[in-house]
Amino acid sequence: MKIPKVILVGAGPGDIELITVKGMKAIQEADVILYDALVNSDLIKKAKATTKCIYVGKRFNKHKFSQEEINQMLVDYALKYGTVVRLKGGDPFVFGRGGEEAAFIENQGIETEFIPGVSSALAVPSSQGIPLSKRNISESFWVITGTTSNGEISKDIILGSKSNATLVILMGLRNFSLIMNEVKKYRHKHTPFAIIQNGTLPNENIIIDTVNNYKNVIDTIDYSAPGIIVIGDVIAEHPAFLDEDIQRVLDLAY
């Protein structure tokens, strides 16, 4: 008789080697795995042949299952099969609805365990060599959603723009123009920003420019790929920023 249990596991930002050792062990021992859209599918291949692996992902509001159905599946599968791994992109508690799922499962009297993951908010800029904090340049960083549950941009983007913090905006590409319009009101016009897509994966892509030029990059964004927006002077650390700036100066001169 197996004891029902649900383990919320962070799968990391994309690269399968960026899952924790503990997370990988949970995958290898699971009876059932429910996994999301941004989880690298190669991680699922590490499960036992007998493990039931179920895709429950959603992208761009296209849901295979509602959140309520997923909550119920976690409980039902744990009662029927034993250990269920709920595998989520990045860290389950960073814009991952991990808290809601945990509350539901615990309310049903089922044991839960949490295995943190490497969040894209930290790992994606880091993989590009962009420091989120830097002595004398940025004393803090804010991780903000670019799209709230009603589709609007978060008011925290305005608050963050008024500070000197590095802004790390998830789920913001579809509201990119609205976001940059707000940022422009409060930050100096040469403030650099970066859009990093498919971070830590072989097809990772970065776009770098300054706030006053944000309209130039709108057509180069791949709206089908996950991406984060990083805004702040720390981006001047990236070699592409220098290259692009030099190019702009040359363009002006000739």
Ligand X SMILES: C[S@@+](CC[C@H](N)C(=O)[O-])C[C@H]1O[C@@H](n2cnc3c(N)ncnc32)[C@H](O)[C@@H]1O
Active site residue 58: yes
96 binds ligand X, rule: CB under 6 A: yes
Catalytic-role residue among 31, 36, 91, 209: 36
Residues 124-143, interacting with ligand X (CB under 6 A): 124
Nearest approach in angstroms of CB 33 to ligand X is: 17
CB-nearer residue toward ligand X: 4 or 227? 227
Q: Determine, following the binding rule CB under 6 A, whether residue 89 of this chain makes contact with ligand X.
A: yes
Q: Which among 230, 177, 184 has a CA at the least distance from the CA of 206?
A: 230
CA–CA distance, 171 with 56 (Å, rounded to integer): 19
The dihedrals phi and psi of 236, each to the nearest 5 degrees, come to -65, -10
Of residues 40, 51, 112, 120, which one binds ligand X by CB under 6 A?
120
What tokens appear for 148 in the block?
């709230």
Interaction between residue 153 and ligand X (CB under 6 A)? no
Count of alpha carbons within 13 Å of 47, Cβ hemisphere only? 24
Measured from the CB atom, the residue of 90 and 192 that comes closer to ligand X is 90
Q: Could you say which of 9, 39, 40, 90 contacts ligand X (CB under 6 A)?
A: 90
For ligand X, the binding residue among 75, 102, 167, 228 (CB under 6 A) is 228
Contact region for ligand X (CB under 6 A) — 42-50, 83-91, 99-107, 208-216?
83-91
State the CB neighbour count (10 A cutoff) for residue 238.
Answer: 21
Element (H, E) at 239: helix 239-253
Say which of 15, 156, 171, 222 is annotated catalytic.
171
Which lies closer to ligand X via its Cβ, residue 50 or residue 150? Answer: 150
Site for ligand X in 161-200 (CB under 6 A): 170-171, 196-200
Residue closest to ligand X (Cβ) = 90
- Report which of 58, 28, 53 is spatially closest to residue 41, judged by C-alpha positions: 53
Which residue is listed with tokens 């499960």? Answer: 47
Instruction: Give least dist CB 39 to ligand X, A.
Output: 10
How is residue 205 written in tokens? 């892509």
Query: What are phi and psi for residue 226, nearest 5 degrees?
Result: -65, 145
Nearest-approach distance from CB 55 to ligand X, in angstroms: 16
Task: Tell me the C-alpha distance between 120 and 178, whole Å.
Answer: 22
* Residue position matching structure tokens 């030029």: 213
25 Cβ partners below 8 Å, 6+ apart? none
Q: What is the contact surface with ligand X in residues (CB under 6 A)?
A: 13-14, 38, 88-91, 94-96, 119-121, 124, 170-171, 196-200, 226-228
Would you please indicate which residues are annotated as catalytic (active-site) residues?
36, 58, 171
